[in-house]
A and B are shown apart, each in its own frame.
Chain A
């Protein structure tokens, strides 16, 4: 059993590495894209419909590609960014590219929920656009943004299972190679249990944060 422990820990480490780096990049990129979608949209603070349409199209294309296809399709891009197309680092690129449009839509929805009266009040107080984005939109939407990020991280855990296709390793890869291809059911079960616990922990942490951040009526 010692061998199983070792490969599990190794796989978990790879999953962690892929998920947390891509989650961090996704949070930044998705939020930026979400804010831009809101600002340039109809009735936004910086309305510009052509830009809004193009961004919307990019997001929709990104969202409609199955992850496994996206991963293969952007291999040249991956090589350009990290210099290789194989391994855990190489998997982070398609994970991030795949998750950014996903999170951008979730962020956009949360930002749209911000009470327009509050934005209008801030404008009436002479706040600049940047102040409104920073102090009003992002702060007011924070519980929703964190809830969306929780969903995104869990999705990333799922996507990372496919990273085996580019030699990214991780729990999903372990389950396929040992559990499925070598009929080692105990490895398969162990992987699934670890994944379930991982997802559960992420969700609990996310819920806790949302509760802490939200000051609306319970």
Chain B
């Protein structure tokens, strides 16, 4: 649905150059929720703004729903943007217009007749759970309500793609949860493809099917969330299920076990118990967390086995056979 191919963007200001996007490629499949995660300054915002050419990349191509946006004229580009929804960290609502007026804005831009506009606005407000609030002004709304207005406005043109620029970063955790649930629902019910950028691992954990990690203008990891979790040394796995820094006591082996896919459907404690029974060893659980991610259970567990790693080749091989990803921490 969205194909970003080898885009590059360099900013020059007062003799300094900053490479915001360094040969970035990204492919978002139709109907999925794709998250790009990274620290501030990693280039995420530039990436998202490049998708609609709000920021024109120096090189590379962006194809959305079959249209190569990088090749369009300004006029054609405006028409293309009208078919892409976007929501923003600070909502971007017009303070001079009430809620209904804000949602109607993109419809006015496309020249939709008034009668049709009113009907569509009412539908959209119901869809995002703001029915009855059409006459309120943004200043009277909570952050969560404002973002719901932003979402309703983004959907006004019935887009197939929704771009989310840190849409929950200005919200408290509870409101974040409700906005993410709304995005998930819209993704499922309308078949909406979502590309979001965030610095919160929780957002990825909650709603993303696929994810990419960005550092200094480059994508360092990308793919399905569950595949990434199963990849040894995955930064995403460490980020989603953080464990404290390992501190192995001498004569022991500390192993970080990542559960995904089928292996995670069985209770992790059962692995530990089976391990202890089969090899007659004491297995300690030092830390761990297990949650539902991308529609299945996943988690990480740090366990401690007696003896050096060399002594534990058999138990470790046993765990690997059962489909678990292992990282020997010490």
Contact = CB atoms under 8 A, between A and B. Distances in A.
A5 interface: no
- Nearest 10 A-B pairs (CB), nearest first? A121-B92, A126-B81, A126-B82, A215-B137, A126-B78, A124-B86, A125-B106, A117-B92, A217-B139, A139-B96
Nearest to B137: A215
Nearest to B93: A118
A140 interface: yes
Interface string B71-102: 00000011111101010111111111110000
Interface of B: 52, 54, 77-82, 84, 86, 88-98, 105-106, 108-110, 137-139, 153, 157, 163
A213 B97 CA distance: 10
A123 interface: yes
A163 B321 CA distance: 97
Nearest to B82: A126
Contacts of B52: 124
Given A125-B82, A126-B82, A216-B139, A120 B109 contact: no
A131 interface: yes
A127 B86 CA distance: 13
B92 A120 contact: yes
Given A117-B91, A124-B54, 9 more contacts: A115-B92, A117-B92, A121-B93, A122-B92, A125-B82, A125-B153, A213-B96, A215-B98, A215-B137
16 contacts: A117-B89, A117-B90, A118-B92, A118-B93, A121-B86, A124-B84, A125-B105, A125-B106, A125-B157, A126-B80, A126-B81, A127-B78, A140-B94, A142-B96, A216-B95, A216-B139
A128 interface: yes
B232 to A, nearest CB: 39
A126 B54 CA distance: 10
A135 B96 CA distance: 10
Given A136-B94, A139-B96, A139-B97, A122 B139 contact: no
Contact of A126 (B94, B106, B163): B106
A136 B92 CA distance: 11
Interface in A104-159: 115, 117-118, 120-128, 131, 135-136, 139-140, 142
Contact of B105 (A117, A120, A135, A213): A135
A127 B52 CA distance: 13
B206 to A, nearest CB: 24
Interface of A: 115, 117-118, 120-128, 131, 135-136, 139-140, 142, 213, 215-217
A180 to B, nearest CB: 47
A127 B109 CA distance: 6
Contact of B108 (A135, A140, A216, A217): A135
A127 B82 CA distance: 8
A124 to B, nearest CB: 4
Most B-side CB within 10 Å, residue of A122, A124, A142, A217: A124
Most A-side CB within 10 Å, residue of B79, B89, B109: B109
Contacts of A140: 94-96
Contacts of A127: 78, 105, 109
Contact of A117 (B79, B88, B138): B88
Contact of B54 (A118, A123, A139): A123
A4 B95 CA distance: 50
A97 to B, nearest CB: 31
Contacts of B91: 117
A136 B94 CA distance: 7
B137 A125 contact: no
A35 to B, nearest CB: 16
A213 B94 CA distance: 13
Contacts of B153: 125
A125 B96 contact: no
A125 B109 contact: yes
Nearest to B110: A126
A142 B97 CA distance: 12
A118 B86 contact: no
A127 B107 CA distance: 10
Contacts of B163: 124
A126 B80 CA distance: 7
A162 B246 CA distance: 83
Contacts of B81: 123-126
A213 B153 CA distance: 23
Contacts of A115: 90, 92, 95
Contact of B95 (A122, A128, A215): A215
Nearest to A215: B137
B105 A122 contact: yes
Contacts of A135: 105, 108
Nearest to A218: B139
Nearest to A118: B92
B323 to A, nearest CB: 43
Contacts of B78: 126-128
